[in-house]
Structure 1
Amino acid sequence: MTARGATGRTARLRDAAWLLPAAVVLIALNFRGPIVATAPVIGDVRADLGLTAGIAGLLTTIPVLCFALATPLASWVIAKADPERAVSLSLVVVLVGTVVRSLPSSAALLVGTAVIGIGITIGNVVIPVVIRRDTAPERVGLVTGVYTSALNVGSMITSLGTAPIAAVWGWPVAIAVWGVLAVLAGIGWTFTVGPRAAWRRPSVVEPVPETGPIDLVLDTDHERKATAPTPAPARRWITWGLTLAFGGQAFSYYALTAWIPTLLHDEIGFSKESSGASSSVFQILAVIGALGVPVLAARWRPRAIIALVAFFWLAMPLGLLFAPQLWLLWSVLGGAAQGGGITIVFTVIVRIVSSDADARRMSAFVQGGGYLIGSAGPLVAGTLHGATGDWTAPLLVVLVAVLVLGVVGSIAARRVD
């Protein structure tokens, strides 16, 4: 090989080290943002389409239900297509759902939301596979962290931008415009996979299991654990405890995500634009919790971390009940806690499983059950607000869900080192 050829190859490899993470960031911006896009303008949507509070809550509930129920479909799609095509398909589906959802019709709103949920589910499943396959072992954790952080950045951008756009062009344009992110991600992904054969780390692509997105992240350890017979997840008490704990976390997160802008508008008098901006604090602070829990896990036992997360989580519903004017403080504490909650639950799973197969089964059980519980959050909170006319009952329900996370999660993890 000539010196020029060696130099060119080195440059391609150096560029490739950042090409995949950059593409992953663009893709991740589409995998949480669409879920929260309607929250800042839900009042306008309800007024124009005559939606009840309960039906409005479905706009956040439906995608979360897809996370729980559409994973087998996502795994089947990925099995039929290679991961590259599955990523592209997920972005196309999200784009189509975004356009359909922007049509001024209640049916289109719900159908488009479901389509978005299916597209995100496919992406959630396949992105960790791509990261594990195409990233050097020592970089898997870093790239996965970048992906997780970008999910929250996507939520923040959407929360900040939707209401101001709606003030100028109306809510249909405000929720449709985020399809541009899917187009940009598609362009970035196409550029990334084009030269892939020349630089991708050689590996054997494993069959995609019938599991959820978090489960695939758990299997990134390149030193395989020795297999050993273990009881089915449903026969282990810790599984049920972790499922309830994750359900409490998901219920609280999605209930508040759906209704924080409306709550701040009602309780403090924020404009729609200000309410959307304030709710973005709750989203972006999750990065601190997600990155902070692994640091604490090196020194603290998991049950102590769960208790600490729940303690800070409680500040959100309690603070909004008794001192809503201090919303910024409660959003900071609650935002960091919600980012740490999901991280510590799956840290416990990693520590208790005995094999990769056990990890897949355990994570699928916890995630499926937890997201089913979480999907009820926006609907329950919206229905209670519609029935009572204020936010006391919804916040009390969130408070109970956080207590479930803290109490049940701590008990379930009491024997985990």
Structure 2
Amino acid sequence: MPWTVIGIVLVALSMRGPIVAPAPVITDIQAEVGLSAAGAGLLTSLPVLLFALATPLASRVIRRAGPEAAVLLCLLGVLVGSGIRSVGPAPVVLLGTIVIGAAIAVGNIVVPVLIRRDVPWQRVSGVTAAYTSALNVGSMITSLGTAPLAAVVGWRWALAGWSVLALAGLIFWLVVSRRRARTPSAASVNPSPPRGSGRVGRIGWLLTLAFSGQAFAYYAVTAWLPTLLFETRGLSLAASGATASLFQIAAIAGALGAAVLVTRSQPWVPVAVIGLLWVSLPLGLLLAPEGYIVWAIAGGIAQGGGFTTIFSIVARATRSDGETAVMSAKVQAWGYLAAAAGPPLAGAINSATGSWTAPLLLVLVATFAFCVGGILVALETRRRGSS
């Protein structure tokens, strides 16, 4: 199991960083390749859309080639896509972005399968928390490091440079895959989840509702929180960005805290706590906007904890690798479709109303969807576990 955990962390470091890396140097990219504002927005929205559209491909790869091959495809795709994105004119940059998004979509589906297959069910929440934390660490590293690196070597080399993380993961998983091929029986050593842990069906749709709310709120807040603070609180762009970064960094604490709650409390408790924190972000910005730092941190804890809780349930509520892949694909396909709609919809409503009140109410509805879906699925899994 330790090798699996290390491998999952290495994969996770390359699964969000390539998406956020263009943001700090977006003006340089636009100036050099002639991307419009809408085209520049595609550099971050296209991968999220691919997360949804490429899930059937991801499921097929896992089913036919196995989880190890799927991980290798994910990392190789990130490596190749990062190289393509760093050369050529605007169409080539967008092509590289599409390759990156499709590759990461495979990783999104296969990681829960690896956790379910190789991790004892009692430790699923902890390993999922490590995975979630690594996703956010990868985002944080690239967000903070891309602009300084670009100042030295240019934006093309700066974006390509982060593919060293994917290369490290690829080398590691090549070694692991060869070792597993020599000892095929090792894959079967994994205690099964408790009896009655559930099937794809009602649990899958409830998780889909919860994750759709989670993903919509996360991407809408990520896209617009700096602008909202700049326009409504009078913060400088630097201060707005720094405050918004708290939303990302706090996710690490949320992921680790959720893992503790999942293992030491009733299933509905972590969902209720996380849901309360999620709801506090839009409500706080509406009713007590002067406390924006508190609300950003509360929302950050919620988004990290929500991701950990949802995918801990996916890994623990299924009884085979195939069932895990099916449920994970369904949850993420619908969830990331909702996520892709979040930023443009919130932005369009802001433009139409000239206010951030309606977009925040939209985020509030999304956080309620997380609460409803999460609590219902927690009660459902508890009933099945006690049957």
The TM tier, using the shorter chain, reads 0.7 to 0.9
Cα displacement (A) at 1:62: 2.4
Q: Is the 8 A contact 2:112 2:325 kept in 1?
A: no
What does the per-residue CA deviation read over 1:113-148, in whole Å, with 9 as the maximum and x for residues that have no partner? 221111112223334444555667776665444333
Q: Is the 8 A contact 1:57 1:258 kept in 2?
A: no
Q: Which residue of 2 aligns with 1:328?
A: 293
Verify: 1:306 aligned to 2:263, yes or no.
no
Verify: 1:291 aligned to 2:276, yes or no.
no
Aligned partners of 1:83, 1:355: CA distance in 2, in Å?
16
Deviates more, 1:131-140 or 1:395-404: 131-140
- TM-score, with normalisation over the residues of structure 1? 0.73
Amino acid at match of 1:222: S
As a proportion of its length, which structure holds more helix?
A: 2
Aligned partners of 1:402, 1:79: CA distance in 2, in Å?
33
Cα displacement (A) at 1:382: 3.8
Aligned partners of 1:36, 1:311: CA distance in 2, in Å?
27
Verify: 1:202 aligned to 2:185, yes or no.
yes
Aligned partners of 1:387, 1:167: CA distance in 2, in Å?
37
Q: Which residue of 1 aligns with 2:159?
A: 175
- Matching residue within 37, 42, 50 for 1:52: 37
Q: Is the 8 A contact 1:135 1:201 kept in 2?
A: no
Q: Is the 8 A contact 2:219 2:342 kept in 1?
A: yes
Verify: 1:74 aligned to 2:58, yes or no.
yes
Q: Secondary structure at the match of 1:31?
A: coil
Q: Is the 8 A contact 2:112 2:328 kept in 1?
A: no
Are the structure 2 counterparts of residues 184 and 222 from structure 1 closer, same or farther at C-alpha, using a change threshold of 3 Å? same
Q: Secondary structure at the match of 1:375?
A: helix
Deviates more, 1:319-328 or 1:113-122: 319-328
How many pairs were matched up?
379
Q: Is the 8 A contact 2:125 2:312 kept in 1?
A: no
Deviates more, 1:118-127 or 1:42-51: 42-51
Aligned partners of 2:270, 2:153: CA distance in 1, in Å?
45
Amino acid at match of 2:185: P
Q: Is the 8 A contact 1:248 1:405 kept in 2?
A: yes
Are the structure 2 counterparts of residues 221 and 360 from structure 1 closer, same or farther at C-alpha, using a change threshold of 3 Å? farther
Are the structure 2 counterparts of residues 96 and 364 from structure 1 closer, same or farther at C-alpha, using a change threshold of 3 Å? closer
Are the structure 2 counterparts of residues 310 and 44 from structure 1 closer, same or farther at C-alpha, using a change threshold of 3 Å? farther
Are the structure 2 counterparts of residues 260 and 176 from structure 1 closer, same or farther at C-alpha, using a change threshold of 3 Å? farther
Aligned partners of 1:324, 1:173: CA distance in 2, in Å?
40
User: Which of the two has higher C-alpha Rg?
Assistant: 1
Verify: 1:99 aligned to 2:69, yes or no.
no
Amino acid at match of 2:161: V
Aligned partners of 1:341, 1:145: CA distance in 2, in Å?
10
Aligned partners of 1:259, 1:83: CA distance in 2, in Å?
36
- TM-score, with normalisation over the residues of structure 2? 0.78
Amino acid at match of 2:36: L
Percentage of pairs with the same residue:
50
Cα displacement (A) at 1:150: 1.3
Aligned partners of 1:37, 1:25: CA distance in 2, in Å?
19
- Matching residue within 189, 192, 200 for 1:222: 192
Amino acid at match of 2:252: V
Are the structure 2 counterparts of residues 328 and 87 from structure 1 closer, same or farther at C-alpha, using a change threshold of 3 Å? same
Q: Which residue of 1 aligns with 2:370?
A: 405
Aligned partners of 2:269, 2:124: CA distance in 1, in Å?
27
The CA RMSD measured in Å over matched residues stands at: 3.9
Q: Secondary structure at the match of 1:222?
A: coil
Cα displacement (A) at 1:94: 0.6
**Which residues of structure 1 form unaligned runs of 5+?**
1-16, 207-219
Aligned partners of 1:221, 1:364: CA distance in 2, in Å?
24
